[in-house]
């Protein structure tokens, strides 16, 4: 039985006609740049995120970059973030000439540990970037309160977490100064290529992002600021407009798959036998629907790489998110971090393994994954 890590075909096939019609509409109008579809998407996604403003941009990476630009972060500044994320989180800080400062993760959620933030704040610190990793909210209340105490901006990297709710139902992207979404095809709401959005409740920042998105020109060819080409394509927006109404349904299917995995793994006895750890949905009992949206389902195991090879032999897809913590990347050697500096993330990078969790997976496929993992440890 084949179990791919992700099967976008299964998601798109039932929507094929609807999506093609939406794309055709754009083609008929020849409105490819910041067309009506982009505005419609900005409206519906910002509302979905409980934010007043949404600015469609070219990718999740550019959402982060333009957010930091809107905050005027640059040379001499420091930005605190997590060492366990996709590279773009830290890369955007460096690209603007600022310095990423890494704080270790909470060993249970693998999100930024708020208890470790205050110790690294200096007079150069300008912002904190929490990442809502794998589709679960970072512990925002202490992060927001530290930021307020030290007058720091908070840029939420919500690339893996659209619609995710915190304890009391506040949605990611709406709590910090700015929130960054990605529509990369493998995210829970994926386009047919690259795309992203910045959401915010701050009118001034929204205006700044919108200005920077089109080279900083306003009116066109008269430049108030140095921006870039950070636009979301109308064609991508047209695809996303079709897909957004299905997102909640997909999320509950992912949650259901996670609970099926939990049952199957419990019955397997692997926790006792080899210390296998399942992802912990810490807000599941908080009476919120989107307590976790499982962009990834991450288990932690010993002999991870051997297990991964065995799964591959059995045609089961898996992925390591991520193999190298950001503070130990080659390109960051000059920052002076060493092995052992941030032990929780370093352990996580040895043990984490993402299993297939996409909405359309069948119970038989989930059973096959767990059975194969059991077989390996036997």
Q: What are the residues binding ligand PLP (CB under 6 A)? A: 59-61, 85-86, 88-89, 131, 157, 159-160, 182, 184, 194, 196
Nearest distance from residue 136's CB to ligand PLP, in Å? Answer: 12
Q: Which two tokens stand for residue 24?
A: 């055709």
Nearest distance from residue 377's CB to ligand PLP, in Å? Answer: 29
Q: Which is nearer to ligand PLP, 50 or 59 (CB)?
A: 59
The CA radius of gyration of the chain, in Å to the nearest whole number, is 21
Nearest distance from residue 187's CB to ligand PLP, in Å? Answer: 6
Give the SS3 label for residue 57. Answer: strand
CA 91 to CA 98: how far, in whole Å? 10
Nearest distance from residue 348's CB to ligand PLP, in Å? Answer: 15
Nearest distance from residue 313's CB to ligand PLP, in Å? Answer: 28
Q: Which is nearer to ligand PLP, 88 or 154 (CB)?
A: 88
Is residue 292 a contact partner of residue 258, using CB atoms and an 8 Å limit?
yes
Buried b (16+ CB within 10 A) or exposed e, 161-199: bbbbbbbeebbbbbbbbbbbbbbbbebbbbbbebbbbbb
Backbone angles phi, psi at 281, to 5 degrees: -90, 90
Q: Give the residue nearest to ligand PLP (CB).
A: 60
Nearest distance from residue 273's CB to ligand PLP, in Å? Answer: 32
Q: Which is nearer to ligand PLP, 196 or 317 (CB)?
A: 196
Taking the C-alpha atoms of 246, 252, 253 and 259 in order, what is their torsion angle to the nearest 10 degrees? 170
Do β-strands 352-355 and 297-300 pair in parallel, antiparallel, or remain unpaired? antiparallel
């Amino acid at each position: 039985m084949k179990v791919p890590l992700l099967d976008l075909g299964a998601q798109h096939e039932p929507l094929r006609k609807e999506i093609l019609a939406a794309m055709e509409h754009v083609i008929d109008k020849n409105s490819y740049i910041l067309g009506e579809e982009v505005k419609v998407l900005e409206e519906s996604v910002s509302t979905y995120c409980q934010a007043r403003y949404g600015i469609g941009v070219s990718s999740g990476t550019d959402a982060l970059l333009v957010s930091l630009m809107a905050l005027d972060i640059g040379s001499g500044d420091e930005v605190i973030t997590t060492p366990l994320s996709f590279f773009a989180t830290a890369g955007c800080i460096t690209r603007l000439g600022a310095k990423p400062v890494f704080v270790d993760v909470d060993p249970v959620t693998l999100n930024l540990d708020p208890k470790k933030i205050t110790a690294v704040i200096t007079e150069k610190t300008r912002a904190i970037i929490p990442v809502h990793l794998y589709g679960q909210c970072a512990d925002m209340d202490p992060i927001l309160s530290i930021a307020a105490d030290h007058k720091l901006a908070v840029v939420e990297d919500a690339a893996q977490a659209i619609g995710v709710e915190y304890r009391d139902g506040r949605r990611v992207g709406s709590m910090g100064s700015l929130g960054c979404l990605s529509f990369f095809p493998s995210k829970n709401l994926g386009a047919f290529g690259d795309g992203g959005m910045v959401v915010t409740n701050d009118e001034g920042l929204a205006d700044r992002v919108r200005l920077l998105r089109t080279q900083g020109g306003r009116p066109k060819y008269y430049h108030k600021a140095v921006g870039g080409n950070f636009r979301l394509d109308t064609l991508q927006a047209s695809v996303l407009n079709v897909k957004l109404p299905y997102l909640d349904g997909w999320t509950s299917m992912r949650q259901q798959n996670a609970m099926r995995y939990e049952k199957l793994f419990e019955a397997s006895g692997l926790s006792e036998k080899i210390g296998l750890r399942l992802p912990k949905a810490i807000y599941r009992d908080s009476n919120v629907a989107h307590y976790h949206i499982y962009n990834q389902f991450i288990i932690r195991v010993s002999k991870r790489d051997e297990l991964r090879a065995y799964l591959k032999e059995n045609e089961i897809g898996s992925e390591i998110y991520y193999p190298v913590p950001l503070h130990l990347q080659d390109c960051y050697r000059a920052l002076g971090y060493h092995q052992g500096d941030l032990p929780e993330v370093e352990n996580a990078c040895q043990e984490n393994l993402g299993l297939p969790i996409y909405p359309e997976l069948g119970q038989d496929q989930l059973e096959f994954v767990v059975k194969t993992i059991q077989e390996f440890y036997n």
